[in-house]
Structure formats: C-alpha cells, structure tokens
Amino acid sequence: MRSVNYVLCCLLFLNICVFGASAQLEVSANAIQSDLKKGETILTGNVIVIKDEDKLWADKVVIEINKKNQPLKYTATGNVRFYAKMPNKEVNGRAKKAMYDVQKDEYRLIDNAMIEESNKHNIIRGNLIVFNPTTEEASIKGSNQKPSVITFTMDNANE
C-alpha cells in the first residue's frame, strides 16, 4: 500500500509540475511502477492515458521524464490505439507499437499502422507512419510485403 501511495504522489507531482493547473494528465492501468531515478514510469494492463481530449490505449506504456519531471516520450506496445483532436479534424489510429515525442509533438506508429480521419473515409496505412497533429503532416513507409496505402474521399469540384 505504501508503494501505491508513493506512485500516486509521484504521478500527482508529475502532473502538477508538467502541466500546471490548467492542463491535466490522467493515467490508469492495472499496475503502475515509477522510478524517478531512472526517469520512467511503466504502466501495464489496460492502460489509458488521457491529456486534454487526446487519448491513448495500450497493454503497456512507458513514460520517460527528464530531471525536471517533464515527460519526454511515451512508448506504447500491445493493442495500441489512439485518438487525437486537431484544430480542423479528429483522427483515430492504431499500431503494434507507438511512440509520442512530446517536444516534437510527433507520433510514430510502427508495424501494421493505421490512421483514420473521423467522419470521413480518409485512411493512411503503412509499416511506419510519422504523424504531427500540430503541423498536420504525415509520412508513410511500407515494406516489400505490404506497401503503404492512402485512401481518401475527394471533394466534389462542382460544390
């Protein structure tokens, strides 16, 4: 019980230091292990990470932090899915592995990766997708066995 309280205090401290009073990071998992000396928190089992309106689901998530307790990188593995809200659209994605670089605001979806724009049939599939919600840019790499695929709905030019 003491270790659970310690982890909860660490997460609360992390939330206050990193995001201040106006933004909130919520994490839940079957098990949470935090090591401030190593600069990482490991969440396992039914992991959900929520920041503002963005959400990440996975079997395991490792959050790497710097010496100021600010998150640098999130690495998710196992049944990875995410939802991100951008200024003009909302997207859902999935992959076997995903990494989020906080400083670059960049997602890397690896192995059987897919991003779909909500409410449209705009889909990106590939072995590696690098996606930046701020700039709304994406790059896709396929493999010899499975090439990259983009499916999109074209707007009617007469409208």
Asked whether the predicted pLDDT for residue 156 surpasses 80, the reply is no
Q: Which one-letter amino acid corresponds to residue 5?
A: N
| Domain ranges within the chain, ordered by starting residue | 25-151
CA–CA distance, 64 with 69 (Å, rounded to integer): 9
Output phi, psi for 146, to 5 deg. -145, 100
CB neighbourhood size of 91 (10 A):
21
% of the chain surpassing 70 pLDDT: 82
Q: Which CATH number fits the domain 25-151, given the four candidates 3.40.50.300, 2.60.450.10, 3.20.20.70, 1.10.510.10?
A: 2.60.450.10
Q: Which residue in 128, 101, 100, 117 sits closest to 152, CA to CA?
A: 117
CA–CA distance, 97 with 128 (Å, rounded to integer): 10
CA–CA distance, 57 with 47 (Å, rounded to integer): 6
Residues 103-144: tens digit of each pLDDT: 998 989 999 999 898 888 889 999 999 988 788 788 999 988
Residue 10: pLDDT band (50, 70, 90) is very low
Q: Which residue in 91, 86, 44 sits closest to 63, CA to CA?
A: 44
For the chain, the residue count is 159
Residue 23: pLDDT band (50, 70, 90) is low
Residue 158: pLDDT band (50, 70, 90) is low
CA–centroid distance for 147 within its chain: 24
Coil/strand/helix, residue 84:
strand
pLDDT of residue 157: 61
CA–CA distance, 78 with 58 (Å, rounded to integer): 6
The token duo for 101 is: 């670089």
Residues 45-57: tens digit of each pLDDT: 999 999 888 899 9
Residue for token digits 């963005």?
A: 54
pTM (global) more than 0.85: no
